[in-house]
Structure 1
């Protein structure tokens, strides 16, 4: 039986355009599979709609996530979630779909909220002995003592919006006097901030996926930024090298892959994920986990899938199959 799939894309955050690009790639490859009838579902602040190939827009009924196209009422068997940021990466969209009993490809709502919240995610993983940077938490409106922060995390350090992606709201601070302006920059994205010590070392990204009934770590990618760090320009405007597979020893590769799988299992994740690490003092230190990673053909996880010999059609089809199987079981 042909399954009707909505590829959800867009979102309400600064990452909307990146998500739309990811969604278009998923739509293209899933549409090539004859067992699916695929639609593009744009989830935007202003409106939710399905975009037809003619570019005509058909409004989604939010009461049941259905759409009427040319007098045909369309209900979806599964949603492929490519929304970066809120509401598709922080659990809101997942909770909505779960209420409607519509399966979706990303992790469940609580796990999504946890991974999207850098501070909470790090706190959970540290309890399991996973190494991270030293950190300080600041909320909007708090009295801030830059000297006390520097005394704890040192310089340079990173000031990050707690719940944001694509390196929005992040600064590398080298001088104490720049701390307050960096916080102001982060507060444009979120009212919670995490300040982390600088970890000197090589940055690695590891995709972990559910595919063909098993959890699998993908080949490791080393990220070498031309800028101060892996910022928006480095991620999306070609200001970095992404080397897949990374030039690591067999032991280092297995260590960071096993750690990424451990995190996947500890956090009870599903679907397609990517975790970031710094090899500091020859030990992988966890940075963050992305439960709805970029899926353009140039994005890191698709690069890793290609290196593993997994086509994008197979990767995306398997994500839908896993979501449907989990829902039915």
Structure 2
């Protein structure tokens, strides 16, 4: 019986969503194969919870714990931390040092893909189409005319390293740019401003499944809000249609680009990327390497469409990691 640490929580504004994802993994893991443990990785403490929610501290020296005088070590870590330190690779570097296997890509790939700007520069080098963008670091002189000349209106202002659409604004009027920049800088010291792509938005999961790369059915995002923001993502302010209502040509192009992006970024395990179609061509927006795993999250819905139930989805991630 393999001991599995499901790490959840994290240090970012996505802590609640991560706890939800982690608990879904915990509740759906096959008990005949695994002994799962809920591990809360929080700024103030790293603890393991037993079935009665009693907390036992994690020994950071070797990532073990002691429950009822019995030392417990883990065969594999299931990463369900959205944001820092799970999705940006920080904790994965620690696991690599300790020689503990985990369900995500190596720490460098995770750090790279958490940085929107660096991800875009890599995929562009592989000929993947993206929106036009401008980068700003805190303290830079802001030349608004130069920005609008490059990206036009409307445009999006996004923190460079943040998830779940925190700190993102759509700017439709020139006078709103300053406020949008301040909002993004509240989340991060780097930001990017991107041109608005007007087309069908889709989100598509690519995973390693039974030793092969598997592209899942895409989901079409129809947001009631101005864009697929936090409310649209988590508070039901959007329609998510799986499979997306797109033509065969679009689907073929999307599948091929999605695979190419996964390989170009050196991904492993789960990923879910956003694209917007201009004509039949998908333009890459961003990639999530620890996508939401609740039953109404996009990746599990796409897996279900492919005939993969949650327990299979999660046990496969562990088996791929243990290989």
Matches of residues 1-329 of structure 1 in structure 2 within 5 Å?
A: 2-30=1-29, 32-325=30-323
Structure 1 length-normalised TM: 0.97
Is this contact kept in 1: 2:222–2:239, CA < 8 A?
yes
2: CA distance between counterparts of 1:143 and 1:284? 33
Offset from partner CA, 1:269-311 (integer Å, 9 cap, x none): 0111101100023310000011110000000000000111001
Is this contact kept in 2: 1:15–1:165, CA < 8 A?
yes
Q: Residue 251 of structure 1: CA displacement? A: 2.0
2: CA distance between counterparts of 1:178 and 1:60? 46
- Greater Cα shift, 168-177 or 246-255: 246-255
Q: Residue 179 of structure 1: CA displacement? A: 1.1
Is this contact kept in 1: 2:203–2:219, CA < 8 A?
yes
1: CA distance between counterparts of 2:124 and 2:103? 27
1: CA distance between counterparts of 2:121 and 2:270? 22
Aligned length: 323
CA RMSD of aligned residues (A): 0.7
Is this contact kept in 1: 2:132–2:194, CA < 8 A?
yes
1: CA distance between counterparts of 2:117 and 2:37? 35
Is this contact kept in 2: 1:8–1:79, CA < 8 A?
yes
Offset from partner CA, 1:142-176 (integer Å, 9 cap, x none): 11111110111000000000000000010001111
2: CA distance between counterparts of 1:254 and 1:75? 44
Offset from partner CA, 1:250-276 (integer Å, 9 cap, x none): 221121011111111111101111011
Question: Which SS does the other structure have where 1:272 is aligned?
Answer: coil
Is this contact kept in 1: 2:116–2:160, CA < 8 A?
yes
After TM superposition, the runs of 4+ consecutive aligned structure 1 residues lying more than 2 A away are: none
1: CA distance between counterparts of 2:86 and 2:313? 20
Is this contact kept in 2: 1:80–1:104, CA < 8 A?
yes
Question: Which SS does the other structure have where 2:277 is aligned?
Answer: strand
Question: Which SS does the other structure have where 1:304 is aligned?
Answer: helix
Q: Residue 108 of structure 1: CA displacement? A: 0.6
Q: Residue 323 of structure 1: CA displacement? A: 0.4
Is this contact kept in 2: 1:225–1:240, CA < 8 A?
yes
Q: Which runs of 5+ in 1 are unaligned?
A: none
Structure 2 length-normalised TM: 0.99
Offset from partner CA, 1:307-329 (integer Å, 9 cap, x none): 1100110010000000000xxxx
1: CA distance between counterparts of 2:280 and 2:195? 17
Question: Which SS does the other structure have where 1:137 is aligned?
Answer: strand
Is this contact kept in 2: 1:33–1:313, CA < 8 A?
no
Is this contact kept in 1: 2:87–2:114, CA < 8 A?
yes
Is this contact kept in 1: 2:249–2:280, CA < 8 A?
no
Q: Which runs of 5+ in 2 are unaligned?
A: none
